[in-house]
Structure 1
Amino acid sequence: MQDFSFMTTEEHFLLQDALKKNKKQVTKFVLIGLGLMIVAAVVPQVYLYTHSTAEDADQSLFSYTNGWFWLWMLSFIVVLVFALIKVTEVRYFTIKRDLMALQKGTMQAPLEAVYHENDDTQTNFMVMLPNSKRKRLFYWTRGALSDYRAGNEVEISYARYSRVILAINKV
């Protein structure tokens, strides 16, 4: 059982900054996704109706009058949603929950893996939980931390639900 304590004002502001960065990332990806979806829906229509007769265009698989086109568009949207989840590491709702609960946890454990994401604006740490064989991923959202390597023993202070790291120190 993990004990949690209340965050300080500084840690609260750090978590608000993480929420702001995550929201920007989600917004950017949604706009890119909408742009790609519009291109995927409009370009085939324009090409079909300018390079063939209306009857031939209506018979095509890429015509908006064909059910296969709508199946393809639905598949495209589903792929975009999963790409949003994978690419942005969406923690928006858990960060908001942390801002309401204001609870943080502290642990001391060895790092299993360290990797950088999102153009080196985020560092992720895989940690083996003490007294168990389970691993957890923790997120440093304030840039790349290059001083930490797998095997280092660290003390991590983190937001309870989102596991955004508020402070990390080598032991």
Structure 2
Amino acid sequence: MSDYTFITTEENFLLQQALKRNKQQLRKFALIGFIVLLVAAIIPQIYLYTHNTLGDADDSLFSYKNAWFWVWMICFVIALVFALIKVTDIRYWALKKDLVALQKATLQAPMEAVYLENNDTQTNIMIKLDNQKKRLFYWMRGALEGYRAGQEVEITYARYSRVIIAINKK
């Protein structure tokens, strides 16, 4: 790896576009969490109040009147949203940090693996560094055609998010 240099204006716009897509993903996950919260909160109430007496239903742990029910539900939704973020590998916070630091680096190494993610809107590239560590880099502009594992590449990337700004075959 080389020393870090400053990101140009054009590269800054590329990172802002990636941040915008990541923000859309976060909003989508929050909406999914809210819908799951509604469904998981309403269906047990319907079942509880139709199959039990009013007093028994109000005393139940699954009653909407019980504070622990809402604590459990909100914790479940938060865990779901963060699980979706982890599974889809959203780079939102790292991209925000890159847009503040404005630093990039360049490296030249062979690709260990190349695979598509997020409905073919992102290409992830595993690079094996000189010290035998593997690092994951992210091409946020869709499918990256013509790149295969084993090829030597030169990558210019944002420092914190490891979002690829430019990639060239060697």
TM-score, with normalisation over the residues of structure 2? 0.89
Give the 3-state SS of the residue equivalent to 1:42 in structure 2: helix
Structure 1, residues 92-121: CA drift from partner, whole Å, max 9, x if none? 121111112211100000111111111000
What is the distance in 2 between the residues matched to 1:159 and 1:80? 29
Residue matched to 1:53: 53
AA at the equivalent of 1:150: A
- Which residue in 1 is equivalent to 2:107? 107
| Structure 1 match to 2:124 | 124
Match of 1:87 in 2: 87
Deviation at 1:65, TM superposition (A): 4.6
Task: Give the direction of change, closer, same or farther, for the CA distance of 1:102–1:71 in structure 2 (3 Å limit).
Answer: closer
> Considering only aligned residues, what root-mean-square deviation do their CA atoms show, in Å?
2.0
The CA deviation at 1:146 is 3.2
CA distance in 2, matches of 1:156, 1:93: 21
Q: CA deviation at 1:74?
A: 5.0
Once residues 78 and 149 of structure 1 are traced to their aligned partners in structure 2, the CA distance between those partners, rounded to angstroms, is 37
AA paired with 1:155? E
Distance in 1 between the 2:153 and 2:33 partners? 38
In the alignment, which residue of structure 2 is the partner of 1:155?
A: 154
Task: State the Cα distance separating 1:79 from its structure 2 match.
Answer: 2.7
Query: Aligned partners of 1:79 and 1:9: how far apart in 2?
Result: 37
CA contact (8 A) 1:124 1:137 kept: yes
Q: Which residue of 2 aligns with 1:11?
A: 11
Query: Which amino acid counterpart does residue 102 of structure 1 have in structure 2?
Result: L
Instruction: Write out per-residue CA displacement over residues 13-44 of structure 1, whole angstroms, 9 at most, x where no aligned residue.
Output: 11110010111111111111111112111221
Q: Which amino acid aligns with 2:122?
A: Q
Q: Secondary structure at the match of 1:97?
A: helix
Residues in 2 aligned to 1:85 and 1:121: alpha-carbon distance in whole angstroms: 15
* Contact 2:122 2:140 (8 Å CA) reproduced: yes
Distance in 2 (alpha carbons) for counterparts of 1:8 and 1:65: 55
Unaligned runs of 5+ in 1: none
1:135 maps onto 2:130 in alignment: no
CA distance in 1, matches of 2:70, 2:16: 40
SS at match of 2:155: strand
Q: Distance in 1 between matches of 2:72 and 2:31?
A: 20
Deviations 1:151-171 (CA, angstroms, capped at 9, x unpaired): 111110100111000011111
- Secondary structure of the 1:98 match is helix
